[in-house]
Amino acid sequence: MDTPDAPAVTDTPAELSQRLTVLLGQISQGDRAAFAEFYRLTSRRVYGMARRVLIDAELSEDTTQEVFLQVWQNAARFDPAAGSPLSWLMTISHRRAVDRVRSAQSATDREARYGASTQDIDHDTVSDEVGSRLEAEAVVRCLGTLTETQQESVRLAYYGGLTYREVAERLDAAVPTIKSRIRDGLIRLKTCLGVS
């Protein structure tokens, strides 16, 4: 457990949430050891998402750095009643990555991003732990309940950092159609995964 490069997810999601919540409490008291542990448990997720959205390694490092500085400064603001710690962290991370990608990148890079964002989710790294294997299977199964176009629209928005309008242009579809695909796709996923 002390190896600095252990995989980020070694617990069931519930166990991980609990650990991260405790760590955030300690971080809000200025506990650097807790901060190091929090980083160890989550940095692969934050950096991994940044790489998928931004492609560029250096930009992804900068973004990851900003995200963890925010964790240090704002740990006290985390409220377990308002969502899981990982969701809080990934929300901040996604926003940073998307802001970056929209402001910083050229059209050429955008093409690369479309390519990256259409990569299969099944290729996302999954640890060998039983808990996360089961979770991964559920995700794959639930994604399978979406139509292909719903999956594609959600993924272009999430990993491509595209607005719904850009997704519509990209897929040559009507804007209202894309909006409802994204909405319905996410609601279907939520229901299948039992997110409450």
Of residues 88-107, those binding other proteins (CB under 8 A): 88, 90-92, 94-96, 98-99
Decide: is 55 part of the binding site for other proteins (CB under 8 A): no
Q: Are 103 and 63 in contact (CB under 8 A)?
A: no
Q: What angle do CA 142, 47, 77 make, to 5 degrees?
A: 85
Closest CB 105 distance from other proteins, rounded Å? 15
Decide: is 63 part of the binding site for other proteins (CB under 8 A): no
Decide: is 38 part of the binding site for other proteins (CB under 8 A): no
The CA distance from 146 to 192, in Å, is: 10
Nearer to other proteins, 15 or 95 (CB): 95
Q: Which of residues 96-155 bind other proteins (CB under 8 A)?
A: 96, 98-99, 121, 124-126, 135-136, 139, 142-143, 154-155
Binding residue for other proteins, selected from 48, 118, 145, 171, defined by CB under 8 A: 48
CA distances from 147 to 9, 181, 184 (A): 29, 9, 10
Burial of 4 (0-12, 13-18, 19+ CB in 10 A): exposed
Binding residue for other proteins, selected from 49, 54, 113, 170, defined by CB under 8 A: 49
Binding residue for other proteins, selected from 52, 56, 113, 150, defined by CB under 8 A: 52
What letters, b where the CB count within 10 A reaches 16 and e where it falls short, cover 96-107? bbbebbeeebee
